[in-house]
Chains A and B, each alone.
Chain A
Amino acid sequence: MLTIENLTASYGAITALHGISLEVGEGELVALLGSNGAGKSTTLKSICGLLRPGQGAIRFLGEDITGKAPEVILKKGISMVPEGREIFGGLTVEENLRLGAFTSYQRDRYRADLDEMFALFPILKERFTQAGGLLSGGEQQMLAIARALMSHPKLLMLDEPSLGLSPTMTDSIFELISALRDRGTTILLVEQNAERALEIVDRAYLLDTGSIEFSGTPDELKRRVDIASVYFGGEDDGTCEVRL
C-alpha cells in the first residue's frame, strides 16, 4: 500500500534520513521504532507532506506522492495524528472533528461518522461542545485520533500516541490501535515505547540515526535483542527511553 524507497530528508545542513526504504501492506499494523532523533517523525512528516524530502520516492497505492502538499496527500487517503496531539485548543471538540471531515464532508455520512466516533470514544460525546484546549492529555489524544479518522483514511499514521500519557491511558490507546487494525485500518505507528508497540504490531522497523537497522516481525526483533539493546541505547548511556 505504502512503499518508500531510498528516502532522504534533511533540516538545513543536518541530514535526518540517509535513504530509508520501508513498506506497509494493506491491513497491516507496522511500527517504526527507534530512540530520540532516529528519524521516526521525520519519516512520517515526509510521508504526509509536511516536510519536503530530498531524494527517493514515496508511493501510495501505486501513485508517486513524493513532495506533494499535505492537503493533497490527505485526499489520497493518508491521515496523520501528529506528535503532541496538536488539538486546536480554541476550537470546540465538535469543530475539531468537523475540520477532520474537511475533505470528506457529506451531511448524512458526517452524522454517522460522529456516532461512530462517540462509540469509540464516549468521552468525546460528553465534551462535544467544550474547547479542545480544556481536555486532558488522554482525551486530547482520543480527539486527535478521532479527528484523523473523520477523513476515512486508508492509512492512519500515529506519531508517538502514548507520549506523556498515564499508564492507564497508554493501555487504552494501545487497545484502541489494535481495535482499529481489527476493523481493517492500515496503520503506521511511531513509538518510543517499543515494548508496548511490539505487543500489538504485525511488523516493525528499527530506525537508528536516519537508517533502517532492522525490520521484521516482533518475534524476530525480540530474538535479536542484542542488536536492539545496542540501538535502543543500553542502561549505561542514559538514553534508555526504550527497553526490550
Chain B
Amino acid sequence: MIDLEFMINTVSLGSLYALLSLGLVFVYGILKLVNFAYGEYLMVAGYAMYVLGTFTGVPWYATLVLAVLTAALVSYLTELVAFRPVRTKSLTAMLVTSFAISVFLQNVVLITISSRARAVRFPSFFSQTITLGDATVPVRNLMIIAITILLLTVLTLVMKKTVLGMAMRAAADRFSTTRLMGVPANLVISAAFLISGTLAGVVSIFWVSRSASVDPLIGMAPLLIAFIATVMGGMHSLVGAVIGGFVYGLLFNVLSITLPASLISYRDAFMFVIVILFLLFRPEGIWKGGYTEERVG
C-alpha cells in the first residue's frame, strides 16, 4: 500500500498544498488577516491561461509565466485599492473587504467571460505519465515537487538573507517596531501580497491542469484547503504553513486509500473532523510560531 507511487503522489499533493497555505500565511503573518480573496488570485491566473492560450499565439511557457504574473499583479492591486484604505480600521473591516474582493473578482469573470467552465489548454506533457521502477506517476506531480523545492529554497533565501525578508519576518512579529526601524509599512505589505499572489499563480497552473478547465468558483476549494492546512500546521509561521500543507496532503491521500468505497465521498467531512480535533486540542497548530497577534494600525 505504501509504495513509491503513493509516496510520490502524496509528496506532490502535499507540495501543492504547502505552496497554497504559504501564500495565505504570508499575508496573514503581517496583517493578521485571513484573505478570503486568496482563492480568486488562483482563479484569475486560471483565466489568464484560458485567455492567452485560446485567443493569442503566446507559447505555453510564456502563458504560464504571464498567468503567475497576473495573479501577483491582481493580488498587489487588491492590496493597493481595497485593503490599504481600510487597513487602520478594524480587522472586521478588513475581513469584509476580503469577501467583497472575492465576490467582485468572481463577478468580473462571470460578466466578462461566462458562468460556465472554460477549457484551458496545457502542453501534452502535463497529462503524460512516467514509469519509475514499478511506479507510474503523472509528470505533473514530479513538476510540482521540483517547483516546490525551487520556490521554497528561493523563499527561504529571500526571508533569511535579504533585508526585505528580515523586515517581513520582523513585521510579522512586531509591526509597529518594524516601522520604527524605518521600514515603510507599505513596502512589507505590498511585498507580502506580491509573494502571496505569485504562490497562488503557481498553484493555479497545477490546480487548473488537473481538470484543464477554469470556472468562476474554482478558487473556493483551494482557499478552504489553504485555511484548513494552516490551522493544522500553525498560522503563526511560514514553517507551520508548509508543514500544514504536507500534513493535509498526507491525511487526504491516506483517507483516500483507507476509507471504504462507501465512505470515500465523505472524505472532506473526515478532514473537517481532523480540523475540529486540532482546534480543540492544539489550536496553535503543529508548529508553534513566535509571532504575536499585534494588529497593523
Contacts and interface: CB of A to CB of B under 8 A. Distances in A.
Interface of B is mostly: helix
Interface residues on A, range: 20 to 34
Contacts of A49: 179
B184 A99 contact: no
B177 A71 contact: no
A164 B166 CA distance: 28
Contact of B170 (A50, A79, A99, A133): A99
Nearest to B177: A86
A88 B182 contact: no
Given A75-B182, A99-B163, A102-B182, A90 B169 contact: yes
A89 B169 CA distance: 10
A105 B185 contact: no
Interface string A146-168: 01000100000000000000000
B180 interface: yes
A9 interface: no
Given A88-B169, A90-B291, A71 B163 contact: no
Contacts of A89: 173, 290
Contacts of B181: 74, 99-100, 102-103, 147, 151
B25 interface: no
Interface string A113-144: 00000000000000000000100000000000
B117 to A, nearest CB: 43
Given A90-B169, A98-B166, A50 B182 contact: no
A90 to B, nearest CB: 5
B267 interface: no
Interface residues of B, number: 20
Contacts of B167: 99, 102
B179 A69 contact: yes
B179 A88 contact: no
Given A99-B167, A102-B167, A74 B173 contact: no
Nearest to A45: B176
Most B CB within 10 A of own CB, among A48, A74, A90, A98? A90
A95 interface: yes
B178 interface: yes
A70 interface: yes
A82 interface: yes
A88 B174 contact: yes
Contacts of A180: none
Nearest to A89: B290
B173 A71 contact: no
A92 B73 CA distance: 32
B182 A74 contact: yes
B178 A99 contact: yes
Contacts of B177: 82, 86, 88
A180 to B, nearest CB: 18
A217 to B, nearest CB: 30
Q: Which of B166, B167, B169 has the most CB of A within 10 A?
A: B166
Interface string A48-81: 1110000000000000000001110011000110
Contact of A91 (B169, B179, B182): B169
Contacts of B170: 88, 91, 95, 99
A57 to B, nearest CB: 21
B183 interface: yes
Contacts of B169: 88, 90-91, 95
Contact of B182 (A86, A98, A103): A103
Contacts of A100: 181
Given A88-B169, A99-B166, A105-B163, A70 B290 contact: no
A86 B189 CA distance: 20
A105 B173 CA distance: 22
Interface of B: 163, 166-167, 169-170, 173-174, 176-185, 289-291
25 contacts: A50-B179, A50-B180, A69-B179, A69-B184, A69-B185, A71-B182, A71-B183, A71-B185, A74-B181, A88-B174, A90-B169, A90-B289, A90-B290, A91-B170, A95-B166, A95-B169, A95-B170, A98-B163, A99-B166, A102-B163, A103-B181, A133-B290, A147-B181, A151-B181, A151-B182
Given A50-B176, A71-B184, A99-B163, 14 more contacts: A50-B180, A70-B179, A70-B180, A70-B182, A89-B173, A89-B290, A95-B169, A99-B170, A100-B181, A102-B167, A102-B182, A105-B163, A147-B181, A151-B182
